[in-house]
């Protein structure tokens, strides 16, 4: 399943929810989630939360992971350890946006959320090095 976009490149002006992503054989693993923000209106905040479900119907009452609110373009990564949640088979991202100085104007963020198993880049680099040697 992974690496995979949990939210492909999105231009959003309001709160929303991304697609359900099936973890398949990657259940219970350690993941690196990367939030990439490439477009922002000033004085806005974006909060990303990642939710888990065993059946894609019940998403629980609390997210598995929440990024701190972000107001600037950049790449932000966090670890998501699903070994504590072995029954989680599906992931879904929710986002909330706000503006603190100009509440009458809609917020705008261009962003994506990417997931990969922890160590996946190292394994890929080692495979390339072995092929070159």
Q: Please give the class, per CATH, of domain 4-132.
A: mainly beta
Q: What's the length of the chain?
A: 133
pLDDT at site 103: 63
Confidence band, pLDDT 50/70/90 cuts, at residue 131: low
- Say if residue 96's pLDDT is above 50: yes
Name the pTM for this structure.
0.84
Two tokens at 2? 């992974």
Residue 119 neighbours by CB under 8 Å, 6+ apart? none
Joined tokens for residue 9: 């490149």
């Amino acid at each position: 399943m992974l690496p995979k976009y949990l939210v492909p490149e999105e231009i959003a002006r309001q709160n929303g929810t991304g697609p359900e992503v099936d973890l398949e054989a990657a259940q219970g693993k350690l993941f690196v989630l990367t939030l990439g923000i490439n477009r922002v209106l000033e004085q806005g905040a974006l909060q990303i939360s990642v939710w888990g479900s065993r059946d894609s119907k019940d998403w629980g009452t609390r997210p598995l992971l929440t990024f701190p609110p972000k107001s600037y373009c950049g790449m932000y990564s966090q670890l998501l350890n699903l070994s504590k949640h072995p029954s989680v088979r599906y992931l879904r991202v929710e986002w909330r946006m706000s503006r603190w100085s100009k509440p009458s104007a809609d917020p705008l963020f261009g962003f994506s959320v990417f997931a990969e198993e922890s160590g996946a880049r190292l394994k890929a680099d080692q495979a390339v090095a072995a092929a070159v040697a």
